[in-house]
Amino acid sequence: MDKEKLRKIVERNRRRTMFQNCMKVVVCVLVTLVLVTVGWKAAEPFAKKGGISTDDKTLPVIQVQAGTNTQADGSGDASKELIPDDKSPVNEIPGWQADGNGWWYAADSKTLYSNGWLTIDGQRYHFGSSGYMDTGWTPIGGKGYYFQDNGIYDPNRDPKKVIALTFDDGPGPYTNTLLDILQQNHVKATFFMQGVNVKRYGADTIPRMVQLGCMLGNHSYDHPDLLAAGPEVAKQQIDQTDQLIAQYNNGAGADVIRFPYGKFTKEMSQATGRSCWFWDLDTRDWETKNTDATISAVLDHVNGGDIILLHDIHETTVAACQTIIPELINRGYDLVTVRELAASRGYETEAGVTYYGFTDRDLTKDTVTDKNR
């Protein structure tokens, strides 16, 4: 092979090697950019939670104001507690942390804030005794406070304009239509269900109730007079219905109890191990079975703090809710579960206690619960 041909081969191989090396560099750069982008997208929610804007050129310093006026009932400033073993910071310290149970705030590598108020970047938050940030209606020191989904305290929410719609005897063939109405209006309700109807309609309705943030209640298996039937029958009826509800509620039974016909004793309610619920506005929709009458029964008599009794097994009742729910919202009412209603008035619900209503009248007369009855 002559020297000229050899020189050309060497030059061609050199150019090929150089091209391959350049392509490797380009690929490495592209892969790095992709990894950085993906990593930032994954961290972005946490950055935003801590007050960091992705549009900022620099990351602002988070200002945390913690006082020293701590109170056992959580009404004072948040205190620093050791981070328990089941929590571990996943973000920058100090700063917001999150796990499957909610948001919490690491004061440093060993402690978190809990059981009180904390001001972060000028916004007020409240943390429970377990260290998690509170959302929704929360009872603190005997008063109700409302926190947005992001945990920021909202002083404009009026605890006197909160009511609970409760539906007995279902689920039924019209319950999904009612759930559509609740979903469209972004409100919640409490469903006190009969086991016999859970068998028929539970699979299609209970998961939706849970998804919408509604509360599940036990109303016996087939609605007998449990006061007359006795404690053994009452336990059997409630246990049987809990087992049926649990099939569609990740293995858990009902959160709350309502006895058929409102007939029970304190001993019976205590035996349930859960809070029990009466009502203070009876629409008698089961009797009239008339849409206009049900609408009037609610809108002409409603007061803040009411627990309203309705029945989702009646088509006329569900039709009435098409009018009732938007109008209540238009009047400034907040439609929540029974437990949230209690929280809006500063009550931590207790097992074995029966609650009748949270209107100003109930509060003045001390008839909210059966403790003094």
Active site residues: 168, 311
Residues 6+ apart with CB under 8 A from 295: 320, 323, 324
DSSP assignment of 293-359: HHHHHHHTT--TT-EEEEETT-HHHHHHHHHHHHHHHHTT-EEE-HHHHHHHTTPPP-TT-EE---S
Tokens read off for 265:
């004793």
209 phi/psi in degrees, rounded to 5: -55, -45
Collapse the DSSP code of 11 into the 3-class scheme (helix H, G, I; strand E, B; otherwise coil) and give the result: helix
Choose among 248, 113, 127: nearest CA to 193: 248
Beta bridge partners of 299: none
Torsion of the alpha carbons at 265, 268, 270 and 273, rounded to the nearest 10: -150
Residue 30: CB atoms within 10 A of its CB come to: 10
Pairwise CA distance, residues 64 & 86, whole Å: 24
Tokens read off for 225:
């007079």
Phi-psi region of 95 (alpha: psi -120 to 50; beta: other; left: phi over 0): left
Distances, alpha carbon 52 to alpha carbons 112, 189, 322, in Å: 20, 36, 42
Choose among 160, 220, 210: nearest CA to 190: 210
